[in-house]
Structure 1
Amino acid sequence: MSGLRTGAVSVLLLFMWGCASGVPQQPGTYTTHYRQEIYQPQRDTEVVERTLWVRSAPKTIVHEVAPLETLWRLSKMYGVSVESIRKANGLRDNTIYVGQKLVIPNARYFKNVIPLYPTNKWRYIILHHTATDIGKATVIHKCHRERGFIYGLGYHFLIDNGTLGKGDGQIEVSPRWIKQQDGAHCKAGGMNHVGIGIALIGDFNDKPPTEAQIRSLLLLLNVLMDYYHIPPSHVMGHGDVPGAQTDCPGKLFPWRTIRLALSSK
């Protein structure tokens, strides 16, 4: 699949976005702005935080709310209080909406926040590229809904490449992960049921991932492999799964770098 070459996203390309595979359901009415469900961390949830960048001085920024993000999560990501975000945006409670633009006052840093849930469900990690030059969770979530995936974004994690207002190497957490649902990213081998789907924004038949994406991927892999006891041999590309007819994650995906980094585990 060829990547997007301009900032204009056509309706046709939106329907084709990504290499996710599952069993599409009939799409229902969808709007980009819908009320978020409130998912605060459960008592037995472990949260791993890693700083992606630190500002030399606090700066007020604008954040577009992704699916199932909460004010608690945003406060962790940017090092500000929930109350300060509510006050800056005139919010009466903690209700926020997908696609909503929120002012984040005095953001000191950006952290990748990775929630971990106790389960023995996950036995593999399947790596993908989106086969597009640009992207972010809200756009791909909408696309996958329109393709018939009623739960939206088919991956469990998405690693951004610095386009569409997202940070280079930013890890976006899918609603499927927060709800611990099956993926819709690799039907072959039953991997949707037992495999954690991680997609990197980019067309890696055209050019490789950014260095920041690789660093974030290695962080995410190490965290998930350690917590769920997944061996390096169970970290696979979509196209390496028996029965999968795809070259995803692309011929320029840096497998040598990834395998070398994981070889000590």
Structure 2
Amino acid sequence: MRKFKINNILSKITIVALLLFSASCTSVKPPSKPLSLGPCPLPTTVKEMKQNVYHTVAPGETLWRISQMYNVDEEMIKKVNKIFNVRDIEIGQKLIVPDASPRKDVVTLYPNSKWKYIIIHHSATDVGSSTQINNAHKNRGWEGGVGYHFVIDNGTCGKADGQIEATPRWIKQMDGAHCKANNMNERGIGICLVGNFSVEKVTPKQMRSLIFLVEKLRKFYKISNARILRHGKVRNAKTECPGRKFPWSEFLRQLKKG
């Protein structure tokens, strides 16, 4: 019974530390078994029920990453979807994930000395996801697509409220395209919360995921609280991002408490 209770409060978020250093990371191959560095507090009412689910491939997602999200063997996903080459999957493709556990967010931490800041943004839209932002940024002519390193969803566009999406820029350890001011694209980790926080509030699940993610990033990369900034507070940045209603004081209070 004790084991059952413990299993019910396991995190939906997996943090992975890669032991091999790769600054460019254009061909990073994650380890076969992720190393959990700590759970994100979740309601204890969530039950571990397995079922077949449909998953829409997002930017940067691989079969390995999807298999880790649902705790399903990669070969099973390949077999059910008749995939012969793991490189054949595309953004927007719908996959059947058989006998899937409740989804957990897989966040990989790559040793890299370039990350000195964490910059918080909002999408300034009511709806969105990594895929939608990727399309919008590509339409602007950004070859790298989505400019942020992480996107925290608000429950729209088929994503869960508070879901953390790691983008290709993070997975490949690329410079961002989220804050040109003060050279933050080269040294700042960009996190975007979906929503327009000039007119609406951050959801509780988004805030919880943001605090968890920032905690892990700042500890791993040794980033001080003074270097965790709102986009609009970066020197020479002329924007109110992440919005007038973003609860910055509450965010910092919870961050320090954690």
Q: Which moved more, 1:254-263 or 1:113-122?
A: 254-263
1:192 matched to 2:185: yes
Give the counterpart letter for 1:157 in structure 2: F
For residues 193 and 49 of structure 2, the distance between their equivalents in structure 1, rounded to whole angstroms, comes to 30
**Which of residues 56, 65, 72 is equivalent to 1:64?**
56
Compared CA separation, residues 181 and 172, structure 1 to 2 (3 A): same
Deviations 1:202-254 (A, max 9, x none): 00011111111111101100110000000111110000111111100001111
- Note the 1:237-252 alignment, pairs <5 A: 237-252=230-245
The alignment partner of 1:57 has SS state of: coil
Q: 2:67 aligns with which of 58, 63, 75?
A: 75
Change (3 A) 1:142 1:73: same
1:88 equivalent in alignment to 2:83 = no
**TM-score, length-scaled by structure 2:** 0.83
Name the Cα RMSD after superposition. Answer: 2.1
Measured against aligned partners, the alpha-carbon deviations of 1:57-103 in whole angstroms (never above 9, x if no partner) come to 21211111011211111111111111121122111232311111011
Q: Is the contact between residue 53 and residue 97 of structure 2 (CA under 8 Å) also seen in structure 1?
A: yes
Q: Decide whether the 8 Å contact of 1:50 with 1:113 is kept in 2.
A: no
1:41 aligns to 2:34 (yes or no):
no
1:253 is aligned to 2:246: yes
The change in CA–CA distance for 1:193 and 1:222 in structure 2 (over 3 A counts) is same
Q: Displacement, 1:55?
A: 4.4
Q: Structure 2 residue aligned with 1:129, among 122, 125, 134?
A: 122
**What SS class does the counterpart of residue 66 from structure 1 fall into?**
coil
The code of the aligned residue for 2:61 comes to E
Which of 205, 227, 235 is the equivalent residue of 2:198?
205
- The CA deviation at 1:151 is 0.5
**In 2 relative to 1, CA 147–55 (structure 1 residues): closer, same or farther, beyond 3 Å?**
farther
Structure 1 spans left out of the alignment, 5+ residues? 1-36
Corresponding residue for 2:18? none
Q: Report what 2:11 is aligned to.
A: none
Cα distance in 2, alignment partners of residues 50 and 78 from structure 1: 16
TM-score by length of 1: 0.80
Q: Would the aligned equivalents of 2:49 and 2:102 in 1 still touch at CA under 8 Å?
A: no
Distance in 2, matches of 1:150 and 1:119, equals 23
- What secondary structure sits across from 1:141 in the alignment? helix
Q: Hey, what's the Cα distance between the residues in 1 that align with 2:70 and 2:90?
A: 18
Task: Give 1:161 deviation, angstroms.
Answer: 0.6
Gaps of 5+ in 2: 1-25
Letter in 2 for 1:212: K
* DSSP-derived class of the 1:176 partner: helix
Amino acid paired to 1:94: V
Question: Greater CA deviation, 102-111 or 231-240?
Answer: 102-111
> Per chain length, whose mean CA-contact separation is higher, i.e. which structure has more relative contact order (CA < 8 Å, sep 6+)?
1
- With over 3 angstroms needed to count, the CA separation of the structure-2 counterparts of 1:48 and 1:114, relative to structure 1, is farther
Runs of 4+ in 1 over 3 A off after TM superposition: 45-56
> Counterparts of 1:16-31 in structure 2 under 5 Å?
none
Q: How many residue pairs end up in the alignment? A: 228
Deviations 1:130-188 (A, max 9, x none): 00010011111111011011101000000001101011111111111111111110011
Letter of the 1:202 partner, please give it.
G
